[in-house]
Amino acid sequence: MPSYKTLYQKSVSLIVFAFTLLISKGLLAASLPDFTVLAAENGPSVVNISTSRKSAASPFEGMDIPKDNPFGDLFKHFFGDQFGKDHQGNGAPDEKAQSLGSGFIISSDGYILTNHHVIKGADEIIVRLHDKRSLIAKLIGSDSMTDVAVLKIDAKNLKPVKTGDASKLKVGEWVLAIGSPYGFDHSVTAGIVSAKGRSLPRDVYVPFIQTDVAINPGNSGGPLFNMDGEVIGVNSQIYTNTGGFMGLSFSIPIDVAMDVVAQIKQSGHVTRGWLGVYIQEISRELAESFGLDRPQGALVSQVIEDSPAEKYGIRAGDVILKFNGQSVTDSSHLPALVGRVEVGSQVKVEILRDKKTKVINVVIAALKAEEQAVITGSSAEKIYDRIGLQVSQTEDKQGVQIDDVAAESPAAMMGIRKGDVILMLNHKKVSSVSAYKEIVKALPVNKSIPVLIMRDGGRLFHVLKLKD
């Protein structure tokens, strides 16, 4: 039978363990952020947006939601009978389809910011406030290239959000979203900043904030807050294979959105800067061939005629390293930097040419509508040159045309095809067949050699490497 002393010691040990456990739980809880105040203070500034349009399309187009799913009645309650249409969208042609999204108040007199895709094609836009009032909104203007839209409702003394500085965001920082996913008003979700300056293929003018905040259909257009209660982003889209949240959410930086808002309110449309170049990403091999210590910058593959780039001396083969004082870490960053420059402004463009850096002053022009859509006998009987090509002079004497490519040759390995036109080889302009032959003779071995080709009207650099 244990002594009183032993029982006492065990009791003390248990008390100490329990006390330590309680303290550790308290410390753990204290280390996690408390979103309650932030959510309560900013909830009244977030609105639900519904639209109607004469369309048979479902607001869930692209989402694989079975017609007989167990939540069908719930979805119909929020989205109407159009949810029950089949996958072909069959239904009455005059039936009005509902589309749901979110938005937030940016001024006390009724201006609201949301996504362009939320209100696109709408015949009527209805804004539901935090106090359950529903008001018809007027579309002031929208911009598809940044996915930003500005609405106005006839109301006063509204509570606008506070806007922050998205450039001060840090990866790993806590952020919070408020919106109406699937029509559930004022749902609050939280997460962290996963990355900054993300470029998406169809959105070249937005350096997105990537987060792991749960964003679902209906959250689009809603605000993304930092822990100071400031809006630093507009929730815009997600990466998904299912139609639902998969941990990859993308938000438009608030400074980009508010710049669009200011232009829309002032002139009703958005004007962007234009440099006038086609660019491509720099691979490791291209970086080596241009004398870069690592892949960086934007490689100019073509300069558009009568553009600012042509006027001020930027050439194909230049690598843009800095634009307007900001480093171009990869090619996808350049369009957003150029687009935000005020038209008529003079900017410094730092380039790499012939393995030497140079600064060119360029006056930026306005991006025109037409430019907005464009942002790249038997072989044994033949004699090929050392890279495996047969060439001929082009009619316009701009480069040499590829008449044939030897199988398994260096040219074939790099992807050159019959019909391509070589415009530049190893940093030298190809003006004639004789000039091409002289350049080919002098090509180094075991080094990356840049080749600028024209194919189907577009221009692109490839990398050639000759073996011993």
Each residue's pLDDT tens digit, 441-454: 889 988 889 999 98
Tell which of 372, 387, 419 closes a domain. Answer: 372
Tell me if 30 is assigned to some domain.
no
Res 368 pLDDT > 80: no
204 in helix, strand or coil? Answer: strand
Phi, psi of 133 (to 5 degrees): -70, 140
The 8-class DSSP code of residue 354 comes to T
Q: Are residues 168 and 107 in the same domain?
A: no
Pairing state between β 365-366 and 273-274: antiparallel
373 in helix, strand or coil? Answer: coil
Tell me if 358 is assigned to some domain.
yes
Tell which of 123, 152, 181 closes a domain. Answer: 152
Positive or negative, the CA dihedral 59, 61, 63, 67 is: positive
| pLDDT one-digit tens code per residue, 251-273 | 999 999 999 999 999 988 899 99
In the prediction, which pLDDT does 127 show? 96
Res 418 pLDDT > 50: yes
Question: Which is higher by pLDDT, 70 or 357?
Answer: 357
Contact present, 229 and 124 (Cβ < 8 Å): no
Q: Are residues 225 and 296 in the same domain?
A: no
Res 90 pLDDT > 80: no
The 8-class DSSP code of residue 161 comes to P
In the prediction, which pLDDT does 190 show? 96
Q: Are residues 77 and 142 in the same domain?
A: yes
Q: Are residues 345 and 367 in the same domain?
A: yes
Catalytic residues: 117, 147, 220
| pLDDT one-digit tens code per residue, 5-64 | 555 566 656 666 655 655 555 554 556 789 999 999 999 999 999 998 765 444 444 444
Distance CA 63, CA 274 (A): 36
In the prediction, which pLDDT does 343 show? 92
For residue 339, what is the domain's CATH number?
2.30.42.10
- Total of domains in the chain: 4
CA distances from 119 to 95, 126, 127, 166, 253 (A): 17, 10, 11, 25, 20
Confidence of residue 71 (pLDDT cuts 50, 70, 90): very low
Q: Are residues 402 and 330 in the same domain?
A: no
Res 123 pLDDT > 80: yes
Structure pTM? 0.69
Distance CA 183, CA 174 (A): 25
Q: Are residues 78 and 124 in the same domain?
A: yes
Tell me if 6 is assigned to some domain.
no
Least confidently predicted of 161-175, 295-309, 334-348, 399-413 = 399-413
How many residues in total does the chain contain? 468
Q: What is the mean pLDDT of the chain?
A: 83
Average pLDDT (417-421) is 89
Tell me if 29 is assigned to some domain.
no
In the prediction, which pLDDT does 173 show? 96
Res 415 pLDDT > 90: no
Q: Are residues 319 and 343 in the same domain?
A: yes
Distance CA 184, CA 177 (A): 13
Tell me if 15 is assigned to some domain.
no
The residue segments making up the domain with residue 237 are 162-267
- In 3D space, the residue among 331, 327, 330, 322 whose CA is nearest the CA of residue 352 turns out to be 322
Distance CA 105, CA 47 (A): 7
Q: Are residues 115 and 212 in the same domain?
A: no
Tell me if 26 is assigned to some domain.
no
Q: Are residues 127 and 204 in the same domain?
A: no
Tell which of 246, 267, 288 closes a domain. Answer: 267
Q: Are residues 385 and 361 in the same domain?
A: no
In the prediction, which pLDDT does 15 show? 64
For residue 192, what is the domain's CATH number?
2.40.10.10
